[in-house]
Amino acid sequence: MLPPRPGLDMAAGYGWVQSTAIRAGELVFVSGVVAIDAESGERLNGTLTSEAHRAFRNLRLVLEAAGSSLERLVQVRAMIYDRIEYDALNRVYRQYVPQGPPARTVWSVRIIDAFKVQLDAVALA
């Protein structure tokens, strides 16, 4: 899938060797989404809360460009930089998937460019 906004083109902006998303049959596999400005591609590092909001908005743009939506999410790997932020993540998270949320695993890992959140998602097209 093509990036829905110029800033979300991580291959062009950052040289990352990846597509924004791939549709395979009825499923859409989305590359890890982080808190960048969807128009300029500028990194918007901030608090876990601010980054999670931005990442979810970017994920929504990617999914909707693929004919999907947050409601069609199937599985999310929500990556956070430190387990101590687990509840902060959940507070943002439930605002974006209030009903019938997707399967999810929270991975506490190191994320590129010191981001605090990265969302790796699979959705139905």
Q: Rounded to the nearest whole angstrom, what is the least distance from the CB of residue 85 to other proteins in the complex? A: 11
CA dihedral 116, 16, 53, 64 (to 10 degrees): -150
SS3 14: helix
The DSSP-derived string for 66-115 is: TT--GGGEEEEEEEES-GGGHHHHHHHHHHHS-SSPPEEEEEE---GGG-
In the complex with other proteins, the residue whose CB is nearer, 13 or 101, is 101
Q: Rounded to the nearest whole angstrom, what is the least distance from the CB of residue 109 to other proteins in the complex? A: 6
In the complex with other proteins, the residue whose CB is nearer, 38 or 51, is 51
Sites of contact with other proteins (CB under 8 A): 25-27, 72, 74-77, 82-83, 86, 90, 93-94, 97, 100-109, 122, 124-125
Radius of gyration of the chain, Cα coordinates, nearest whole angstrom: 13
In the complex with other proteins, the residue whose CB is nearer, 36 or 117, is 117
Q: Rounded to the nearest whole angstrom, what is the least distance from the CB of residue 56 to other proteins in the complex? A: 12
* Nearest C-alpha neighbor of 63 from the set 52, 50, 74, 48: 74
Q: Rounded to the nearest whole angstrom, what is the least distance from the CB of residue 17 to other proteins in the complex? A: 19
In the complex with other proteins, the residue whose CB is nearer, 72 or 116, is 72
